[in-house]
């Protein structure tokens, strides 16, 4: 009888200890803040090594269309190789899958880049928006949506 108690206690102890040793989230976690409303979606493009950045989202290594809740959106991209990445986002308020601009070429919809980088007359360079990611780690990127 005593063996049953010892085995049961050991099992419970191992289960308890394992619950503290569960694997952490891994990948690139992108949080988008400051959407001016919940219309449309946020389009997120993750670029590696500058390929396609930022104007050719079809060349992004990962892309996703996110719903906006409480003026925020979030995604975790997993299974990414080690490397240099940058993120470009668009708050596509009218869901036409493109950046709408006024007659002067100024964006009418929200946008943003990793590192909250800004360009002078256009998007920031890949190097200004880039960050490093290592597999097995959680890389956190927070982007504040900008509007003109």
- All structural domains of the chain, each given as residue ranges with its CATH number in brackets, are 24-144 (2.60.40.10)
Q: What is the pLDDT of residue 2?
A: 55
Q: What is the pLDDT of residue 40?
A: 98
- Work out whether the CA dihedral 117, 90, 137, 81 comes out positive or negative: negative
Give the closest residue to 96 by CA, choosing from 60, 121, 65, 73: 65
Q: What is the pLDDT of residue 81?
A: 97
Q: What is the pLDDT of residue 25?
A: 85
The series of mean pLDDT values per 10 residues for the chain, 148 residues long, is 49 48 76 98 98 97 98 98 98 98 96 97 96 97 98
State how far the Cα of 125 lies from the Cα of 119, in Å rounded to an integer.
Answer: 7
Q: What is the pLDDT of residue 8?
A: 46
- Work out whether the CA dihedral 78, 115, 119, 105 comes out positive or negative: positive
CB atoms under 10 Å from CB of 66, counted, come to 17
């Amino acid at each position: 009888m005593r063996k049953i108690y010892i085995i049961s206690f050991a099992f419970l102890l191992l289960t308890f200890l394992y619950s503290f040793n569960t694997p952490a989230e891994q990948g690139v976690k992108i949080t988008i803040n400051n959407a001016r409303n919940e219309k449309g979606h946020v389009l997120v493009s993750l670029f590696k090594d500058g390929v396609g950045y930022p104007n050719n989202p079809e060349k992004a290594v990962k892309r996703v269309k996110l719903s906006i809740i409480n003026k925020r959106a979030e995604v975790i991209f997993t299974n990414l190789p080690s490397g240099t990445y940058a993120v470009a986002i668009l708050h596509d308020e009218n869901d036409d899958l493109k950046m709408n601009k006024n007659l002067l070429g100024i964006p009418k919809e929200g946008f943003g880049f990793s590192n909250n980088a800004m360009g002078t007359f256009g998007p920031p360079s890949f190097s200004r928006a880039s960050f490093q990611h290592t597999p097995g780690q959680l890389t956190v990127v927070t982007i504040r949506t900008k509007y003109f």
